Structure 1
Amino acid sequence: MTEQENIQARRSEPWRDELRRGMKAKERGERPRVHMPELDAEYRSHSLKEEVNLGLTKEQAMFEAARCLDCANPTCMEGCPVNIQIPSFVKNIECGEFLEAAKVLKETSALPAVCGRVCPQEKQCEAKCIYIQKMKKEPVAIGYLERFAADYERESGQMSLPELAPANGIKIAAVGSGPAGLAFAGDMAKLGYDVTVFEALHEIGGVLKYGIPEFRLPNEIVDVEINVLRKMGVKFVNNCIVGKTISREDLLNDGFKGIFAASGAGLPNFMNIPGENLIGVMSCNEFLTRVNLMDASNPESDTPVQMGKKVAVIGAGNTAMDAVRTAKRLGAEKAYIVYRRSEEEMPARIEEVKHAKEEGIIFHTLHNPLRYEGDENGRVQRMLLQKMELGEPDASGRRKPVAIEGATEWFDVDQVIVSVGVSPNPLIPSTFKGLEVTKWGTIVVNQETMQSALPEVYAGGDIVRGGATVILAMGDGRKAAAAMDKALRN
């Protein structure tokens, strides 16, 4: 049996009974939401490369698509930052027109297979579904269906290209090949521009490659989406640091008429507490980049990660979940999430928290590190934790953590991965003279057009937001492309 046949078998066998129950429920007038097949938790917690979610079968996808109520006013679209025609692609799936569904997605999204996997649909399009808004039931699984359509097209070998305008010969540069840069490049290519994407690292894909492990987003999926952009005429230059290897002036002298800065937020934040310079304390960015891009899980690689047995990840966002689950897969006997608030306030997706728990991750909530101490060799050995309680909500709407006076405890660890946020990459803001920059290092732009203080420079994604989701970054890229096109035409 081939690997693809194995995957199909895993998808189908455990879910046939559920599908039968679903069909009977539909006959009774009920419409239960399908559940995504997953790898067994014990098995997958030792597999760094195999994807946890296995995708829907054709039958599951068509059944789920049939739950869509064909709203006269499809509020789901209000929650989509890239304006996908959700009812259209969902109805195509219901009718079995899977390739047509994929074409609808590509009209507005450069990365449908990526978005179907990592976007927080539960906070965006699905949160606006009439089922949840009016009927207090589970929404249509829009994210599952998006992934299904994109995967079906890829596996069919019939990849389509969106319609392209005639080439206009105008050169445009995108700095950074993450989701904002790729979305921008895709839209500009559709409009007929000659687009080149410059990437500082040796792999194209930005945070999609270095920041998200393959058990959640396989590199193969990202590469397929990038190759579609190549076929649309987008050029990619890797190992090129704009602001260092080449300057803004170099780009303008080379004939580029517009520049989209999407260099991300790759500067890790630390807590500035004693002991952060000990061996075994590292940023989440460093840990994931080394594992995902530099083969650090291989002890024979040039930059191996020496994995501890008791690993604590500080923070509770999606990146923290990626890191702690990666640590578990690399051999950590005990892998902890240490978080200063309760589980209810965690910013990570509910699905990621669920998967982490199933894989044996231990959650140590309402605790915050005060200091780290090391052994005689300078390696972290333990940390002092402050016990916390929740006070009134802060500006984010989450209840603010408050220290319980005198309540501390020592906690044994031999590796700490700090995931408490990131700051913008400072290179573009510091070398593009004339940019307006905030006190946080983000580029100031017109929120309607994404244009900066330099007329030819637009910006989006984390370099503007300071840290956001893939789909919000893509929305910035699309908005910038539309505005830049309008400006150049005028």
Structure 2
Amino acid sequence: MAVSDRNTDWRKKLREETKGKERTEIERVKMPELEPAERIKSQRLEVNTGLTEEMALREAKRCMDCVNPTCMEGCPVGIDIPGFIKNIERRAFGEAAAVLKQTSALPAVCGRVCPQEKQCEAKCFYIQKLKKEPVAIGYLERFAADYERESGQVFLPEVAVSTGIRVAAIGSGPSGLSFAGDMVKLGYDVTVFEALHEIGGVLKYGIPEFRLPNKVVDVEVDNLRKMGVKFVTNFIVGLTESIEELKAEGFQGFYVGSGAGLPRFMNIPGENANGILSSNEYLTRVNLMGADQEDADTPVFRGKNVVVVGGGNTAMDSVRTAKRLGAERAIIVYRRSEAEMPARIEEVKHAKEEGCEFLTLTNPVEYVANEQGRVKQVKVQKMALGEPDESGRRSPVPVEGSEYLIDADVVVVAVGVSPNPIIPHSVSGLEVSRKGTIVVDENTMQSTIPGLYAGGDIVRGGATVILAMGDGRRAAFYMDKYLKNFKSDGMS
């Protein structure tokens, strides 16, 4: 299927026919959602139900098709945003998906979980010039990708003639998949190595199905497989085999996208009590191992009073999961105010609709266990906001004498993660930061080891899906340049 160029006659004609105020007077579409009482019955019911064709056509008409589309400046993977939206407007839905897939390996994923409000939509003409709500770029991306999948007419990007050069992607999260998609299009023999038993990384174990159904991830992965990407599961690079061993087997380029799977805790008294677990374990057991099922082989702690510590998207995922597991009270405890929460506004809204409670400007200082060693209460302290820290958010300051107890029989700690240490510890000569991240050239994503590139959380320490994908694309671009000049002796 051919992809229309940005300067084709139909687009020029469309601009001329739609000049004036008509577009700017159309109200932004609202995403249809399942009712809260219905959606909290199951972990597997997706909350957002997608735009209808009529809604997508109306929203696409809002796009001004700017000559200099600033929205694209906010997209880490460089999607031709006006290009795919204008295809929706002219009812060429399949071609809209084709435009998306020229630069994005995971459009149905990104349309659901990317923070468009901080990226492409933040750069939209409507916000920048008119101070109005931006075009719903994320909703339209999801519409086009879902239409393609449900129509059965899948577009696969063109793949170059094979170079015969083998490259490895370590980790099958969004960064590794993005890298693999670009490299296979360039003609490389790509193998993705995944430590777990399913492909998808954080897309599978970290994001609940009420936000991102597994079937959506599976189709995106299957498209990569059809393009020629190979996948190996239950394979831990650095333990199962080292990079040197893979190099001896013929791999000439490596991309490390192994993520940040090492949970952080707060190191406060009582933290070793039963019923206190990381968000990583909590979400992985439910999302990947089916712990929400009554007969699960790997069950997870359930409770009437569940406290989730943190204010990011992972905290929202955890507290909303607790509600679906039957918690009577599912409570967010966050040390800053709601305005400082890094979670998406939509996720906070959904959590509140579902009956989750928010204790902001509050911080745990101790966990209290019962005689059996199971957590029963959390001692918290009120906080006040001080001066901004290096992130630009105001620092929380404890309020003396403000401690009090809240009941909790399960506590989920979602205060961040650290990089997976296996690769950094297993590669001799690899430069690693004091935080355990792999040091790379910010432009090329190459590490201190020639031929070894890295991106996503293993470099950033914690990032969005789309930023990780952008790293994968950049690494693929520069690895291709490197391998074209690759010497016969391989990595030095």
Pairwise TM-score range, normalised by the shorter structure: over 0.9
Tell me if 1:370 matches 2:365.
Answer: yes
Compared CA separation, residues 450 and 44, structure 1 to 2 (3 A): same
Alignment of 1:76-91 (within 5 A): 76-91=71-86
**Partners of 2:57 and 2:88 within 8 A in 1:** yes
Q: 2:198 aligns with which of 186, 197, 203?
A: 203
Q: Deviations over 1:439-480 (max 9, x none)?
A: 000000001100001102100000000000000000000000
AA of the residue aligned to 1:101: A
Task: Name the counterpart of 1:444.
Answer: 439
AA of the residue aligned to 1:416: V
Work out the CA distance in 1 between the residues paired with 2:66 and 2:22.
21
Tell me if 1:250 matches 2:245.
Answer: yes
Task: Name the counterpart of 1:58.
Answer: 53
Q: 2:303 aligns with which of 282, 305, 308?
A: 308
TM-score (norm 2): 0.94
Deviation (angstroms), 1:412: 1.0
Tell me if 1:292 matches 2:284.
Answer: no
Work out the CA distance in 1 between the residues paired with 2:85 and 2:353.
31
Task: Name the counterpart of 2:131.
Answer: 136
Q: Deviations over 1:153-191 (max 9, x none)?
A: 000000010011111110000000000000000000000
Task: Name the counterpart of 2:106.
Answer: 111
Work out the CA distance in 2 between the residues paired with 1:264 and 1:336.
28
Q: 1:384 aligns with which of 376, 379, 385?
A: 379
Deviation (angstroms), 1:298: 2.5
Compared CA separation, residues 28 and 70, structure 1 to 2 (3 A): closer
Alignment of 1:348-427 (within 5 A): 348-427=343-422
Deviation (angstroms), 1:306: 2.6
Q: Name the SS for the 2:175 alignment partner.
A: helix
Work out the CA distance in 1 between the residues paired with 2:311 and 2:368.
23
**Partners of 2:43 and 2:292 within 8 A in 1:** no
AA of the residue aligned to 1:400: S
Work out the CA distance in 1 between the residues paired with 2:135 and 2:388.
31
Work out the CA distance in 2 between the residues paired with 1:287 and 1:27.
49
Percent sequence identity over matched residues? 71
Work out the CA distance in 2 between the residues paired with 1:447 and 1:129.
26
Compared CA separation, residues 220 and 106, structure 1 to 2 (3 A): same
Task: Name the counterpart of 2:223.
Answer: 228
Q: Name the SS for the 2:428 alignment partner.
A: coil
Deviation (angstroms), 1:434: 0.9
Task: Name the counterpart of 1:462.
Answer: 457
Task: Name the counterpart of 1:19.
Answer: none
Deviation (angstroms), 1:112: 0.2
AA of the residue aligned to 2:369: G
AA of the residue aligned to 1:151: D
Compared CA separation, residues 158 and 339, structure 1 to 2 (3 A): same
Work out the CA distance in 1 between the residues paired with 2:108 and 2:22.
32
Work out the CA distance in 1 between the residues paired with 2:218 and 2:429.
35
Deviation (angstroms), 1:29: 6.3
**Partners of 2:23 and 2:62 within 8 A in 1:** no
Instruction: Kindly report the root-mean-square deviation, in angstroms, between the aligned alpha carbons of the 2 structures.
Output: 1.0
Q: Deviations over 1:86-138 (max 9, x none)?
A: 01000000110000000000000000000000000000000000100111100
Alignment of 1:238-277 (within 5 A): 238-277=233-272
Work out the CA distance in 2 between the residues paired with 1:298 and 1:155.
28
Work out the CA distance in 1 between the residues paired with 2:22 and 2:148.
30
**Partners of 1:178 and 1:208 within 8 A in 2:** yes
Deviation (angstroms), 1:394: 1.3
Compared CA separation, residues 377 and 233, structure 1 to 2 (3 A): same
Deviation (angstroms), 1:47: 1.6
Q: Name the SS for the 2:122 alignment partner.
A: helix
Q: Name the SS for the 1:108 alignment partner.
A: coil
Work out the CA distance in 1 between the residues paired with 2:319 and 2:115.
19
Q: Name the SS for the 2:25 alignment partner.
A: coil
Deviation (angstroms), 1:393: 1.4
Task: Name the counterpart of 2:34.
Answer: 39
Gapped runs of 5+ residues in structure 2? 1-20, 486-492
**Partners of 2:451 and 2:482 within 8 A in 1:** no
AA of the residue aligned to 1:240: F
Work out the CA distance in 2 between the residues paired with 1:327 and 1:456.
43
Alignment of 1:82-231 (within 5 A): 82-231=77-226
Q: Name the SS for the 1:471 alignment partner.
A: helix
How many residue pairs match? The answer is 465
Q: 1:433 aligns with which of 413, 424, 428?
A: 428
**Partners of 1:366 and 1:388 within 8 A in 2:** yes
**Partners of 1:299 and 1:305 within 8 A in 2:** no
Task: Name the counterpart of 2:482.
Answer: 487
Q: 2:313 aligns with which of 315, 318, 325?
A: 318
Q: Name the SS for the 2:400 alignment partner.
A: strand
Work out the CA distance in 2 between the residues paired with 1:40 and 1:415.
26
Work out the CA distance in 1 between the residues paired with 2:293 and 2:81.
42
Compared CA separation, residues 277 and 58, structure 1 to 2 (3 A): same
Deviation (angstroms), 1:302: 2.2
Q: Name the SS for the 1:195 alignment partner.
A: strand
Q: Name the SS for the 1:223 alignment partner.
A: helix
Work out the CA distance in 2 between the residues paired with 1:355 and 1:324.
11
Gapped runs of 5+ residues in structure 1? 1-25
Work out the CA distance in 2 between the residues paired with 1:299 and 1:125.
41
